[in-house]
């Protein structure tokens, strides 16, 4: 499981012009899933996401987790995080999970975050052509790789 976590002032995702999910102050999470990912790996990812300290606190630029700043989370599926560009000019997506497994684990992550986290958790639509907009804060962008 691999993710790009962006600290944002606000973010939203649209599908066919319709606003599907929107957050203020928090994390925009692009989530990629590979063949070997499981619910146990997803649980590790969720735990790390909720504990990682990417917000300012006590005079330090990166010292507080999302819960302590009452941030919100927007999760967007992103199979292209598993792109390989080692050969040729067209990326290979062989390391990305097949859609069935990827959708199951993506939905699991979103549902678990909604159950475990006390603030707003929004999501995109798995497999849809989405338009994502955000105002990055910092900017802070972290690649979180759980294997």
pLDDT confidence of 32, banded at 50, 70, 90?
A: very high
Considering the entire predicted model, what is its pTM? 0.95
Q: Whole-angstrom Cα distance, residue 25 to residue 10?
A: 5
Residue 85 is a catalytic residue: no
Q: Domain coordinates of the chain in residue numbers?
A: 2-145
Each residue of 124-133: pLDDT tens digit? Answer: 999 999 999 9
Classified as helix, coil or strand, 7 is strand
Domain spanning 2-145: CATH 3.50.80.10 = yes
The neighbour count for residue 13, using CB atoms within 10 Å, is 24
Q: Are 97 and 35 in contact (CB under 8 A)?
A: yes
């Amino acid at each position: 499981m691999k993710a790009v976590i962006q600290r944002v002032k606000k973010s939203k995702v649209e599908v066919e012009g319709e606003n599907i999910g929107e957050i203020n102050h928090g994390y925009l999470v692009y989530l990629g899933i590979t063949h070997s990912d499981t619910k146990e790996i997803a649980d590790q990812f969720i735990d790390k996401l909720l504990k990682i300290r990417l917000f300012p606190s006590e005079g330090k630029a990166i010292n507080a987790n999302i819960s302590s700043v009452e941030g919100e989370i927007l999760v967007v599926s992103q199979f292209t995080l598993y792109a390989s560009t080692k050969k040729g000019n067209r990326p290979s997506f062989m390391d990305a999970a097949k859609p069935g497994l990827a959708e199951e684990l993506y939905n699991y992550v979103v549902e678990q975050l909604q159950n475990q986290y006390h603030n707003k958790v929004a999501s995109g639509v798995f497999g849809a052509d989405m338009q994502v907009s955000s105002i990055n804060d910092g900017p802070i962008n972290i690649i979180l790789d759980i294997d």
